[in-house]
A and B are shown apart, each in its own frame.
Chain A
Amino acid sequence: MLYPDTVEAEVLVHKPWFVATMFGVVFAIFLAFNLTSTSFGELMRPVIGEPSQSGLYGRFAIAFVIALLFVLNVVLIGFASLRVQIAIVWFELLLLFLAFFATFHLSLPFIREKLPFLISQGVVTTLYVSAISIIIASLIAILGAVAKLSTNGFAYAIASFYTSFFRGLPLLMQVYLIYLGLPQLGFVVGAVPAGILALSLCYGAYMTEIFRSGIQSIDRGQWEASRSMGFGFSLTMRRIILPQALPVIIPPTGNQFISMLKDSSLVSVIGVWELMFLARTLGQKTFQHMEMLISASLIYWMLSICLELIQSRIERHYARSKVR
Chain B
Amino acid sequence: MSAETIIEARAVSKWYGQFHALKDINLTVHKGERIVICGPSGSGKSTLIRCFNRLESHQEGDIAVNGIHLHPKMKNVADVRSNVGMVFQHFNLFPHLTVLMNCMAGPMWVKGVSAAEARKTALQFLERVRIPEQANKFPVQLSGGQQQRVAIARSLCMEPAVMLFDEPTSALDPEMVSEVLDTMTGLARDGMTMVCVTHEMGFARAVADRVILMDAGQIVEEGKPDSFFGNPQHDRTKLFLSQILKH
Contacts and interface: CB of A to CB of B under 8 A. Distances in A.
A and B held together in a complex: yes
A243 B102 CA distance: 14
Contacts, number: 66
A222 interface: yes
Contacts of A6: none
A239 B158 contact: no
Contact of B94 (A228, A230, A240): A240
Nearest to B53: A228
Interface string A221-248: 1101101111110010001100110000
B186 interface: no
A165 B209 CA distance: 62
A239 B104 CA distance: 13
A52 B79 CA distance: 92
Nearest to A244: B96
Contact of A224 (B55, B97, B141): B55
A230 B140 contact: no
Nearest to A235: B109
A2 B38 CA distance: 44
A231 B92 contact: no
A interface majority secondary structure: helix
A232 B90 contact: no
A239 B101 CA distance: 11
Contact of A231 (B85, B88, B109): B109
A224 B88 contact: yes
Nearest to A236: B109
A184 interface: no
Contacts of B155: 229
Contact of B82 (A222, A229, A322): A229
A interface residue count range (under 10 / 10 to 19 / 20 to 34 / 35 or more): 20 to 34
B138 interface: yes
A228 B164 CA distance: 10
A227 B92 CA distance: 12
Contacts of B93: 225
B168 to A, nearest CB: 13
B110 interface: yes
A228 B86 contact: yes
Q: Which of B80, B110, B158 gathers most chain A CB within 10 Å?
A: B110
B81 A244 contact: no
Q: Which 8 A-B pairs have the closest CB atoms?
A: A230-B82, A225-B92, A221-B92, A230-B81, A228-B86, A230-B78, A321-B138, A229-B106
Given A225-B86, A227-B81, 16 more contacts: A221-B90, A222-B92, A225-B88, A225-B94, A228-B53, A229-B105, A229-B155, A230-B78, A230-B110, A230-B158, A231-B110, A239-B109, A320-B138, A321-B140, A323-B138, A324-B141
Interface of B: 53, 55, 77-82, 84-86, 88, 90, 92-97, 105-106, 109-110, 138-141, 154-155, 158
Interface of A: 219, 221-222, 224-225, 227-232, 235, 239-240, 243-244, 318, 320-324
